[in-house]
Amino acid sequence: MKTVCFGEIMLRLSPPGYGRIAEAKSFDAYYGGAEANVAVVLAQMGIKSVYVTRLPENELGNAAAGELRRWGVDTRHIVRGGERIGVYFYERGAGSRQPKVIYDRAGSAFAMSQPEDYDWDKILDGAGWLHFSGITPALGENLIKVCKSAISAAKDRGITVSCDVNYRRALWGADKAGEVMAGILPYADVCVINEEHAGLLFGIKEERPDDGIYLDASARVAQALSQQFGCGKVAVTIRRTLSADKSRFAAVLYDKASGSASCSKIYDLEIIERIGGGDAFCAGLIYALESCMPNDYAVQFAAAACAIKHSILGDFGAMPVAEIRALADGAGRSER
């Protein structure tokens, strides 16, 4: 199914290995962005994946588009113009040292883009799915409008809409985010959200006795979100950071139609790469739902994609469906 992802793509600059920004003599260059990462994983799964963004007319813009294309993403609907590509500097943490990020994305070609830059009739022609994340409306009022026109065009065509809430403190406050996303989620057929953000943005949280993972409680959060916003499917992801290199991860998927929730295994992850795990989860979920996998397996598949992504350097995380299935089916040994 032709699947359209929409959002920013940035140049990421990271010191090699365990190096630090403060003393870097070189930076490894990656291109990535929440929705772009989803588009790449989908394309590598064999989905006809289209990315929509706005990039400047220079070599960095060319490179960003080229990297997407390399992984099979259709870049013909990328708009060119604007002054600069958004940049972020990311330093991997280790042990007791936390990761660091410096965003330098203000004024990017995408952040400056306007509703009239995107011809949704043309873009969505023949599409079956539209995906974006909460980072896009966080970039400004112009992008809230763009999101709304995209959703509206999708709804007109009966296209399934998925939204990863993906709240980013660095971009907007929880109040503003909660208000804007509450206006958007009612149009989303599928909603993905981090358990903690459900509390922060919408006040939806469940008590847990300690810092463990309680899938029942998370399932109730998913159900509450589905009831509040009417989304047909709500996936809640749960992450506990154990150190800069280790975390624990699981997810639940609530299905409004059946009123039931499905849970993934709980993964203990060694983190080679922290970025893009949530995006791989979204891609896994979209693939699973487009492939009509049953809910129980869909959440396992999405969680396995997320687990594997933690071992792949870079924002993108192309991986074969067969490897995801193998892990979801239990061949993987890192499950708890």
Amino acid at 22: A
Binding region for a second copy (CB under 8 A) out of 11-19, 147-155, 170-178, 225-233:
11-19
Tell me phi and psi for residue 87, to 5 degrees. -130, 145
- Contact call for residues 61 and 8 (beta carbons, < 8 A): no
Contact status: 22 vs a second copy (CB under 8 A)? yes
| Beta partners for residue 194, in sequence order | 237
Exactly one of 190, 200, 231, 308 binds a second copy (CB under 8 A); which one?
Answer: 308
Shortest distance in whole angstroms from residue 247 CB to a second copy: 9
Shortest distance in whole angstroms from residue 118 CB to a second copy: 22
User: What is the number of residues in the chain?
Assistant: 336
* Cα gap 164→49, rounded to integer Å: 17
Tell me phi and psi for residue 13, to 5 degrees. -120, 120
Binding region for a second copy (CB under 8 A) out of 15-23, 110-118, 198-206, 224-232:
15-23
Binding region for a second copy (CB under 8 A) out of 24-32, 143-151, 172-180, 218-226:
24-32
Shortest distance in whole angstroms from residue 138 CB to a second copy: 17
| Beta partners for residue 236, in sequence order | 193, 252
Binding region for a second copy (CB under 8 A) out of 34-42, 158-166, 172-180, 235-243:
235-243
Which of 318, 319, 313 minimizes the C-alpha distance to 273?
Answer: 313
CA distances from 9 to 212, 300, 332 (A): 34, 28, 31
Contact status: 334 vs a second copy (CB under 8 A)? yes
* Cα gap 197→167, rounded to integer Å: 7
Exactly one of 114, 149, 152, 243 binds a second copy (CB under 8 A); which one?
Answer: 243
Exactly one of 125, 156, 175, 270 binds a second copy (CB under 8 A); which one?
Answer: 270
Amino acid at 264: S
Exactly one of 142, 228, 241, 291 binds a second copy (CB under 8 A); which one?
Answer: 241
* Cα gap 281→274, rounded to integer Å: 13
Tokens of 218: 């998370």
CA distances from 123 to 110, 129, 204, 303, 321 (A): 17, 11, 35, 30, 27
Nearest residue (CB) to a second copy, 14 versus 160: 14
* Cα gap 303→145, rounded to integer Å: 32
Contact status: 214 vs a second copy (CB under 8 A)? no
How many residues form the binding site for a second copy (CB under 8 A)?
67
Count of CA atoms in the C-beta half-sphere (13 A) of 163: 28
Contact status: 213 vs a second copy (CB under 8 A)? no
Contact status: 25 vs a second copy (CB under 8 A)? yes
Binding region for a second copy (CB under 8 A) out of 128-136, 150-158, 212-220, 267-275:
267-275
Q: What does the binding site for a second copy look like in residue numbers (CB under 8 A)? A: 13, 16-29, 58-60, 62-63, 66-67, 69-72, 83-84, 87, 89, 91, 93-98, 100, 102, 104, 106-107, 241-245, 267, 269-272, 304, 307-308, 310-313, 318-319, 323, 326-327, 332-334
